[in-house]
Amino acid sequence: MTPLQSHLQPKAHFQRIGLMIRKDSPSVVESLKTLLSFLKQRKCQLFMEGDSYRLSHQAEDITVVDSVAALAAQCDLVIVVGGDGSMLGAARSLCRAHIPVLGVNRGELGFLTDVSSDEIESRVAEVLEGKFSREERFLLDASLSRKQQVISVGDAMNEVVVHRGASLRMMEFSLWIDEQFVYSQRSDGLIISTPTGSTAYSLSGGGPILHPALDAIALVPMFPHTLSSRPIVVDGKSKIRIVIGDQRGGQPELSCDGQNHWFLEKGDVIEIAKKAETLSLIHPASHNYYETCRSKLGWGSRLS
């Protein structure tokens, strides 16, 4: 069994629970209240980081810590209430601690947040009783160098994207994989996606869906000028390098999970590789990846 394969856990004793929310909305706060009430009935110790605590309208009987790192150090499970965006932010913060993370969905699609709002008590009870599966999801590290000096670094659970920014002009870049030249391209950009991100921006760009257990990275061109340029899938251990070419007045950008952005110049070098740390993602025992795809992507729906 590979490290990325999920497996049922025979026993689990989660008693110290961290809670994270990243958006102050009525639906998120409502689900948080339900979750808090249930966890208190189970006699769990509850912890929140300061920003989440303020967004929670300062719930009672919560130990407040001053950082996400401190939260991870106190807990044996973190539950994130929100959508996939909330989970992405939590993942980048929590992966170094290698603490299990469970998601309660109050967003839209919810590929990473399994527990629906009307199943909070039953599904969280399953997890607390040890009825869950666990997956290790890898992230990507990205570094941006200019004139042989690293000027920015970032990480992404879904994707790293090099794109043309606000300009209507195509951008130019060259791609290397493991020091082997692949191509020079004019296009709107390139999506470098993990299996987790293959159902996100990469999918909308025509990329393949990668099962989360795969140790692979997808590279998806965005509206390439050469019609024969197609997505490619490479080994997850590959080292990817992109060199920015002449932009003819445009201002391309680099983004990580759509939440960090850096402007690019001619000659900039972007290096992307798998991050050493992984996110330990918890699913209720009833979780089925293909059922998630069917329900979220509308597979098998009848044509009317």
pLDDT single digits (tens) 115-155: 888 889 999 999 999 999 999 999 999 999 999 999 999 99
- The single residue listed with the structure tokens 């740390």 is 277
Of these residues, 24, 61, 84, 235, which one is catalytic?
Answer: 84
pLDDT at 189: 95
Where the chain has pLDDT below 70, the residues are 1-13, 58, 107-109, 301-304
Which residue, among 34, 39, 87, 75, has the nearest Cα to 56 in the 3D structure? 34
pLDDT at 185: 95
CATH of 139-276, one of 3.40.720.10, 3.30.70.270, 3.40.50.300, 2.60.200.30: 2.60.200.30
- Give the other-Cβ count within 10 Å of 64's Cβ: 14
pLDDT at 21: 87
Give residue 292's Cα distance to chain centre: 16
Question: Coil, helix or strand for 202?
Answer: helix
pLDDT at 1: 39
Alpha carbon separation from 289 to 86, 99, 182 (Å, rounded): 20, 22, 33
- The single residue listed with the structure tokens 């993990």 is 194
CATH of 7-131+285-297, one of 1.10.1740.10, 3.40.50.300, 3.40.50.10330, 3.30.450.20: 3.40.50.10330
Token digits for 284? 């209720």
For the segment 76-89, what is each residue's pLDDT rounded down to a tens digit? 999 999 888 888 98
**Segments of the chain assigned to CATH 2.60.200.30:** 139-276
Q: Is 118 a catalytic residue?
A: no
**Segments of the chain assigned to CATH 3.40.50.10330:** 7-131+285-297
